[in-house]
């Protein structure tokens, strides 16, 4: 079989680049989400009780890492690999 190599499946990976506009458009979702979380935690009593400062810091770090990763993909610092099965 041509897709078998020593008993393992061999996936053909193409180097696909993410368009540069994708990280900027993703910020239109990530930034309002972060602003809403910040508003809830710091300006509402219920948000502070439900989420708390520690979880707000954790969510802020997650959103920052996702944003940074998207910018690295968009500016071609990391490859966005896809296999042929997609």
* pLDDT tens digits along 11-28: 555 666 778 899 999 999
The alpha helices in 1-86, defined as continuous H runs, are: 21-43, 45-50, 52-74
pTM for this predicted structure:
0.71
Q: What is the pLDDT of residues 25-42, one digit of tens each?
A: 999 999 999 999 999 999
Q: Could you give the dihedral angle defined by the CA atoms of residues 32, 36, 38 and 39, in that order, rounded to the nearest 10 degrees?
A: 130
Looking up tokens 């506009």, which residue turns up?
Answer: 21
């Amino acid at each position: 079989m041509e897709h078998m190599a020593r008993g393992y499946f061999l996936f053909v990976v193409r180097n696909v680049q993410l368009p540069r506009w994708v990280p900027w458009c993703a910020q239109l979702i990530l930034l309002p989400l972060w602003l809403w979380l910040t508003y809830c935690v710091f300006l509402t009593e219920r948000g502070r009780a439900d989420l708390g400062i520690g979880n707000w810091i954790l969510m802020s770090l997650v959103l920052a890492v996702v944003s940074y990763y998207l910018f690295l993909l968009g500016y071609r610092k990391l490859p966005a690999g896809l296999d042929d099965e997609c």
